[in-house]
Chain A
């Protein structure tokens, strides 16, 4: 029997970026807010030097990530296969603990482009309806870029993003991204200092007629105090950013920004080690009454009643809880009905290495978002007619660290072991330039999430099942844009050029590719096609809101956190200014 706790106005499931933002915004509005986090608390002591500079512990054994011994997902490429559990982490690394994936992210903070928000309309208008592949579930987003702009701005100033604007109120800015949507003002901090790799990429892409700009970074280029009075330190370019916590508080993360800001409000309380197993509903199923969780310290079960339930777990966790709790109708790919689990998307990512006999890159001097990127081949910034696919990629050079277990390169043809391997490793470790292609991914009929019929987690609940494969569209995109990146690398004049290896089906859950998993609880205009309305409110249970990249109708060729942050501020604003005045569906159907 669960112990029933005192009712709160709001219960938030998950204390990462979206949970932290919601906690701050809604407790500022005077609501009593309880934040539940299934993992442990995080503090500065967890990330102190020298122990945090441990590649094996954090980047190989994945200490800050989801522990799949307790809960994982099952995976198959196609509905005809038997799904099997992801027994070890590989392709993606969801976070766990206070701060979530925002603790160990790299800090790349983009805005999605205006045409990402009008994707279907734009493709139909420019290329015609027949350009869209049969099983591609292409949709317009239910809110425009212009509507999100103030919320992007708020996220960027809260997180102290270092970067260079490319378009301020319609005026193109030298050195920024000329393709970006108009923004109200410059980034709060200037770009990071460039590495040699950044300079070479800038020079070459400019020569080729492209438009390089510094990657927008949540790594502070200088000490920064955000609008909440939270102080962030200056980045030391230590190279231990991705997969690690920052000991210098120089990487904007929820546990040092929005969460402590929310905790200043006495009406907000946070409980780590609280694993939510279901969202409870009234007998008619139309309203949520709160959540049930298990303390993973004692095993005790608690019920936390609340008037408003906000799901802020990693995208997989949100979709899993909706499926376990009967919030919305599960998606069925055969009849293409139902919405929960629909639209799971990933990214189509490749890497191109090049090797320069006469250059020294010092790859260990870097930080999560240090690098330069071009947007010339992203979204709809180029003519897709001749290439015959939808979507694009950011193509960039990154200097995020030279940690030697994971970040070494040798030219193609080098033996994998022995003295020759060693000689090549010694020679090329410091002379390798790495570029990445981060490709978009469109929703497709047979790529979806549902509950697994066989496998269970530590709480006796069905695991979530992922059915996912790359499509023809993905293969065309990857072949084209990996070639573009390869050509850029060649134009730099390397001694050796790395292999050109575009992504092809079948997708594999084994090698790391990207932790940009999106969809499954998508937002849209039509309740028969989307789980959420434009305010990220469940169409079916109106006092449930679902944050995070699970709401994306498609995944773009950018890192998703900027858009995740903006959508959360947008939804928080709708809750404060619309929902609280008249609780119920914000859009009538």
Chain B
């Protein structure tokens, strides 16, 4: 199968100077002609605010590795999870809101928790660069172009804090710190209300049978005790 890496599609799109109306959505880039044409606003909502092209390629591959397309759901990227993470990193949380960011800094013990002088967005930027440098030197290619088995090997090592990363600040558990944050963000992107950009069509909620925000169960808790409660989930936007 001829696989044009997304980065190349995005680069090409950029190179010909296309405007916002040109589809650069990951879904369209993956399967041109499959999706109906989208309005410019919809395209804007599927473009990145924080990630650059290399980072976008990494994060989409990472998200799709954790949440692959199968008979239960479309891929993580199709569910909007990479967009969700991008929006979080572009926003207040990514910039370190509600975090104590003053020094001095020391590595500390694992029990003392996060001690890097990096806001989440900075951590992503540094860590992606470091993981890509590892992939280039150890495997001769970027993360998104690795074979699935090799990708699994990288993700597994990252999750266990044993991937040798270059260019990182002090802190032995840096790679695990990044993985733990990214893993949590992927789960948020799958299960948070769709208003944040992920959980597209409430597929995360449908996966587990979570009914969403419309919840008045004073009678249901007796009527449906021990029985399935099959409803179409509702999100915040459905009731706003």
Contact = CB atoms under 8 A, between A and B. Distances in A.
A534 to B, nearest CB: 36
24 contacts: A49-B213, A50-B234, A50-B235, A53-B215, A55-B193, A62-B98, A69-B96, A75-B111, A87-B113, A235-B218, A236-B216, A238-B215, A361-B226, A362-B229, A365-B224, A404-B210, A405-B188, A418-B66, A426-B207, A426-B208, A430-B209, A454-B104, A455-B102, A510-B114
Interface of A: 49-51, 53-56, 60-62, 67-69, 72, 75-77, 81-82, 84-90, 193, 195-196, 199, 234-240, 359-362, 364-366, 402-405, 408, 416-419, 422-423, 425-426, 429-430, 454-456, 506-510
A55 B208 contact: no
Nearest to A75: B112
B220 A237 contact: yes
Interface of B: 65-68, 70, 72-73, 93, 96-102, 104, 106, 108-115, 155, 159, 183, 186-188, 191-193, 195-196, 204-205, 207-218, 220-222, 224-229, 234-236, 238-240
A510 B235 CA distance: 30
A76 B204 contact: no
Nearest to A417: B66
Contact of B191 (A85, A365, A404): A404
A55 B191 contact: yes
Contacts of B210: 364, 402-404, 429
B70 A416 contact: no
B102 A49 contact: no
A77 B70 CA distance: 45
B111 A419 contact: no
Contacts of A418: 65-66, 68
B100 A87 contact: yes
Q: Pick the 6 closest A-B CB pairs, nearest first.
A: A53-B213, A429-B208, A238-B215, A56-B192, A365-B217, A417-B66
Contacts of B222: 193
Contact of A405 (B67, B110, B192): B192
B191 A84 contact: no
Contacts of A76: 112
Contacts of B97: 69
B196 A61 contact: no
Contacts of A365: 215, 217, 220-221, 224, 229
Contacts of A361: 226
A508 B111 CA distance: 4
A360 B227 CA distance: 6
B80 to A, nearest CB: 13
Nearest to B152: A418
A359 B221 CA distance: 15
B191 A88 contact: no
Contacts of B104: 454
Nearest to B199: A404
B217 A84 contact: no
A493 to B, nearest CB: 15
The residue among A75, A193, A240, A422 with the most chain B CB atoms within 10 A of its own CB is A422
A430 B238 CA distance: 24
